[in-house]
Amino acid sequence: MVKGLERYEAILSGAEKPKYLQAKETGLLDEKLAEAERIMQACEFCERKCKVNRLADETGFCACAHKAKVFGAFAHFGEEPELVPSATIFFSGCTMRCIYCQNAPESITPALGTYWSEPKIAEWIELMYKKGCKNVNFVGGDPTPYTYNILKALSYCNAPIPVVWNSNAYYSEKTARVLQGIVDVYLLDFRYFSNECAVKYSSAPNYVQAAKRNFLLAAEDAELIVRVLVMPSHIECCAKPILKWLAENLGKDVRVNIMDQYWPAFNAHKFPEMSRRLYPEEFAHVMHYARKIGLKNIVP
């Protein structure tokens, strides 16, 4: 049994229901959906708070309008071992602009995605559950702009499958509150510990404050897996302080996936310091540091 994911495993064994099904029974899901619909009318699903009326198809930074756009959906075998196979749905549209994005342009361009209605998403989740997927994994781009569509899809769905929220952690506090009581596992990136880096490489002002808040809210609500992508030249400013913060604020048993697969995709070639892979010794240094500060639940 994976430490910190006992409830998720209880859902897999049938001993517990996923939260969204419980929320359907109590009426909580309807309340969350109503709140998400209000947010759609002056959008502040993410920290940018563009305040555009997306129900009227106005668009903000992410370019997402009313309808959910998808650029991929399949059983994913590349996620953390406890999650696979994971029914993963990739939404088109993102709240950040990482210069090294591996899925651009589809991930950041809703116009390149295919429209999926909420009943279609629900039908697909039920099908993937029947095929043996362990969870439904909402990702992108980022799932945040489509919070309303996702909740609506869940309202049509009846599969007893855990919900994984796979995000860059740059969502607003309102979104964090909407997700509480619905998500079973938060799978969140913690990418930067310097707002200067977050702005320069992901156009994400106030990233650090938003991420810290969202990690604390996620941990109080559900189970959590943290992804720390170690990036070249971002060991001292980002990777190590992130791990230290996690150990101090979420405890040394927090589940952490320290990742070495940075690849200089998309626009990374425009930034010399980011236009290379990670050196093995950089990754080894970070792993050594993680163990030194006592992190005990590192994804193998």
What are the residues binding ligand SF4 (CB under 6 A)? Answer: 43-46, 48-50, 52, 60-62, 64, 95, 144-145
Contact 255, 225 (CB under 8 A): yes
Q: Give per-residue burial for 1-32: e unless 16+ CB within 10 Å, then b.
A: ebebbebbbebbeeebbbbbbebbeeebbeeb
Closest CB 144 distance from ligand SF4, rounded Å: 6
Q: How far is the CB of 161 from ligand SF4 (least distance, A)?
A: 25
Nearer residue to ligand SF4 within complex by CB, 86 or 166: 166
CB of 96 to ligand SF4, least distance (A): 9
Q: H helices within 131-171, ranges in order?
A: 147-156
Q: Which is nearer to ligand SF4, 44 or 106 (CB)?
A: 44
Q: Which residue is nearest to ligand SF4 (CB)?
A: 60
Q: Which is nearer to ligand SF4, 151 or 228 (CB)?
A: 151
In DSSP terms, 16 is beta-bridged to: none
Q: How far is CA 242 from CA 10, 66, 158, 204, in A?
A: 30, 35, 37, 17
Shortest approach of ligand SF4 to residue 80 CB, angstroms?
Answer: 26
Least Cβ distance, residue 174 to ligand SF4 (angstroms) = 10
Complex with ligand SF4: residue 116 or 171, whichever CB lies closer: 171
DSSP strand E in the chain: where? Answer: 69-76, 86-91, 114-115, 135-139, 163-167, 185-189, 223-229, 255-259, 297-298
Decide whether 128 or 153 has the Cβ nearer to ligand SF4.
153
